[in-house]
Amino acid sequence: MTDSSLPVSKAIQGAAIEAPDPQPSTNRIIVLDGIRGIAVLFVMMFHFWIVAVSSGPLLWERVYDSLAGMGWIGVDLFFVLSGFLITGILYDSRDSSHYFRIFYGRRTVRIFPLYYAALIIFFLVGPFVLAHVHRSALADLQSGANVKLFAWTYLLNWYEGLKGWDAVAHPLQHFWSLSVEEQFYLIWPFLVLKLARRQQMSVCAGLIALALTLRGVMYELHLPIASYLFTVCRMDSLAIGAIVALAARDSGDWKVLLKWARRLALPLLGAVVLGRILNPNCTVGPGDTPTFFMNTFELTLVGSFFAACIAMAIASEQRSFGHRLLASRFLRFLGKYSYCLYICHLPVIVIFARAGLNTVQLMGKVHSELLSVVVVNGVAFGVSVAISFASWHLYEKQWLKLKHLPALRRDERLSAKSA
């Protein structure tokens, strides 16, 4: 059980945003793996629905559409979790003599191998295969030179924000969030190193206000997709997560934050749901919405709600229902493989849908809307998990072994000192 009255920096140190090392730390907060699993479930549900499931008039279909249509919030949960965990890791290692080398080295061996392997498959292997398949339904899955340039340099969110979703091949459209996080990793370590803890919290508050303002400006300039994808417009969720991490480094701040998290969690959730209800034209998420509220305040409310959830999850007792749910094997399993799940699930469902695994075509064979929805989600989920499982054990985990090299090893004495 985590003592909610004390800073939790040592435990957070062992719960980095990347999937766990082959030999995970005993200080790891397992509920954070469960939260990561929930985030990827949200995103997968959303994309499976939007790509391969048709809507219907029945009550269960409307309920399913409403739930799946909110799956975009999984990206915001990832952002809050990233801001929270990365800030904690950076803050606890500020006294390290190799602060930048260790941080960027460890991020590189976790993030780059799978990301660039995916790009090689999409940009080199994919076109070669498509040239021999000759299926017109798959012809638009190839990407142009501009897309490739921005993808290789982790700038895809800027190109996609200006040019629109269709400017990028469908299997790569969700890579914008990876670009946002990588750009965050590029800048934030310098601020954490140079500023005192309270100064960092003030900067975070400024970033929240700035992101919210810029989203409003972009919306008024008729750039709703840019307001959703540009890094400067999405810093609020990352900054909100960072505030939680910084508060966790001081017992007084942690008590105050936890008190307000418990008071505001339900009102924030109510505001998020009410915002969606009052904006019925927003059918697929803020990036495609014609409404000002969903493009601006809704995202900040979502980020604030998830920050409250993370704080309460850390402070939860082991015997509580919430702790047991987040620590369940299923959610922790998904959390462990969430990085590859995020990367591969959209290409999987896009290719399957083009090949006939969608509810429109399945209805003619199984004669049941419910069964067709179950089949679409079940097959796409199973294949995505199988790919991620193989990727982790055969590829990603081998790269993670490099973290144990002396040049990339964290100083455990600093972690203990910061606790």
| Those residues with Cβ within 8 angstroms of residue 156's Cβ, 6 or more apart along the chain or in another chain | 147, 150, 168, 172, 175, 176, 178, 179
> 291: phi > 0 → left, psi -120 to 50 → alpha, else beta; which?
beta
**pLDDT at residue 156 is higher than 70:** yes
The SS3 call for residue 390 is helix
pLDDT for the residue 286: 84
Task: Give the model confidence (pLDDT) of 396-412 as tens digits.
Answer: 999 999 999 998 887 65
Give, in degrees to the nearest 5, the angle at Cα 141 between 138 and 142.
120
pLDDT for the residue 27: 52
Mean pLDDT of 209-217: 96
The model's confidence at residue 135, banded by pLDDT at 50, 70 and 90, is: low
Evaluate whether 68 touches 53 at the Cβ level (below 8 Å).
yes
**pLDDT at residue 79 is higher than 60:** yes
d(CA 141, CA 147): 12
**Residue 213: which of 234, 199, 185 has the closest Cα?**
234
The token duo for 130 is 């498509």
Evaluate whether 345 touches 322 at the Cβ level (below 8 Å).
no
**pLDDT at residue 414 is higher than 70:** no
Lowest average pLDDT, out of 148-162, 274-288, 332-346, goes to: 274-288
d(CA 39, CA 82): 12
Evaluate whether 17 touches 85 at the Cβ level (below 8 Å).
yes
The model's confidence at residue 17, banded by pLDDT at 50, 70 and 90, is: very low
Share of the chain above pLDDT 90, in %: 72
d(CA 332, CA 340): 14
**Residue 185: which of 105, 71, 243 has the closest Cα?**
105
The DSSP H or E segment spanning 402 is none
| Residue 139 or 16, more confident | 139
The token duo for 207 is 């970033």
d(CA 38, CA 314): 15
pLDDT for the residue 124: 87
Mean pLDDT of 357-376: 91
The model's confidence at residue 131, banded by pLDDT at 50, 70 and 90, is: low
d(CA 122, CA 117): 9
CA atoms within 13 Å, Cβ hemisphere of 192 = 28
DSSP at 171? G
Average model confidence (pLDDT) for the chain? 88
Sign of CA dihedral 342, 294, 268, 14: positive
The token duo for 392 is 């982790």
The SS3 call for residue 340 is helix
How many helices (H) and strands (E) are present in the chain, helices listed first?
22, 0
d(CA 266, CA 269): 5
**pLDDT at residue 338 is higher than 50:** yes
pLDDT for the residue 6: 39
Phi, psi of 287, deg, nearest 5: -65, -15
Evaluate whether 292 touches 281 at the Cβ level (below 8 Å).
no
DSSP at 320? S
Look-up of token digits 């269709």: 166
